[in-house]
Amino acid sequence: MVWKLKRPILVGGIGLSFSLWMLQSWHHQLMQLTEYSLLSLLAVGGGLWLIKQNRSKLTEEQLDEMTIARATVENTIAASASAINKLVEIAGDCQEALDKATLLQEKIPYLQNELDRESIKLTVTGGKSVGKTTLIQVLQQQNLESVKFEETSPLFIQGNCDTATIDDAVKSDFVLFLTNGDLTETEYQSWEQLKAENQRLMLVYNKQDQCLPDERASVLLSLKQRIGRNIVATAASPQPIKVRKHLDDNSVQEWMEQPAPDIEDLTEQLNKILADRQQLVWATTMRKAQLLKTETKSLLNGVRKLQANPVIEQYQWISAAAAFANPVPALDILATVAINAQW
């Protein structure tokens, strides 16, 4: 007995639809499995990133105790030069990239010469009216050898770009960060920005004479608890004090005297720091070389992106054409039409 299939178009359409439904179900399950795998990978990657960030933070906290070797700085400069050469190589006909690469190449000899620099650039920064100018004037009278003082524009003023001021301070070999009392949150954030840039600096509690002895001790204790170390108290321009003298005829003479600046502790600390000025110069050169390398890599990524865009667009068109030519959606439509035709 021969079995004859009735309504073959209907049965074929149903079978084809069922097969497509099964394929779609399996595809959904596979996609769920893939999503779980991706989530696991993201979790592991996030954990590794946090560990790396904690190690970087620890490295920054230990920076003041680190010794930078000249060879390390030279290797960083060489790596920057290599990145610039790579930029020139892949720039091709992009004149803008070539012009920028030329400007970057001119910085390499400058960095190499910086390694043997003997003068020290010391920057004084802080908010408004903390005594930056006065402190510089007093320090210039201390005969600090081969030290060039610079003052930044005041921080924390509305309309002033603190980021630019911080960038100027980072270019120096050493920074004196002035404050008139306990650190505000804004001051502390600026301090942390400088630390994050691997800048070597010292916190100066200036105008301490304007506080009572008990208040002065309390402020110093708070600063030490918050900053840890590298703190010194000064009075660059002490307030005049009244002097009273009793004469033999029982009369009294009074006058105002200007006390000498109280910067002995600061001068002592600076002399210790400047005794190893080579390390200050190398650390500054290292920061500049790293910034140059970062800038070059950013330009490299930009050039590669421009060069990759045409290729990406080409493959997008290919993918679109492949998706359009895919027979599965067409078969799905055919099965639907077949079922409807049978009814």
pLDDT value at position 117? Answer: 93
Collapsed DSSP state (helix, strand, coil) of residue 149? strand
Report, at the CATH architecture level, how domain 119-262 is classified: 3-Layer(aba) Sandwich (3.40)
Kind plus residue range of the DSSP H or E element containing 282: helix 277-325
Q: pLDDT at position 15, please? A: 59
Q: Running along the chain, 343 residues long, what does each successive block of 10 average in pLDDT?
A: 49 56 57 51 57 47 64 95 91 85 93 94 94 95 91 81 85 95 91 92 94 91 89 92 85 88 94 92 94 92 80 66 56 57 56
Helix, strand, coil percentages in the chain from 3-state DSSP, rounded to 5: 65, 10, 25
Per-residue pLDDT at 174: 96
Residue ranges of domains in the chain: 50-116+274-304, 119-262
DSSP state for residue 115 in the 8-state scheme? T
E-strand stretches of the chain: 120-126, 147-151, 174-179, 201-205, 231-233, 241-246, 252-257
Query: Whose structure tokens read 């004479």?
Result: 209
Closest CA to 73 of 276, 279, 286: 286
Q: What does the pLDDT read at residue 59?
A: 41
Rounded to two decimals, the pTM is 0.70
- What confidence score (pLDDT) does residue 45 get? 58
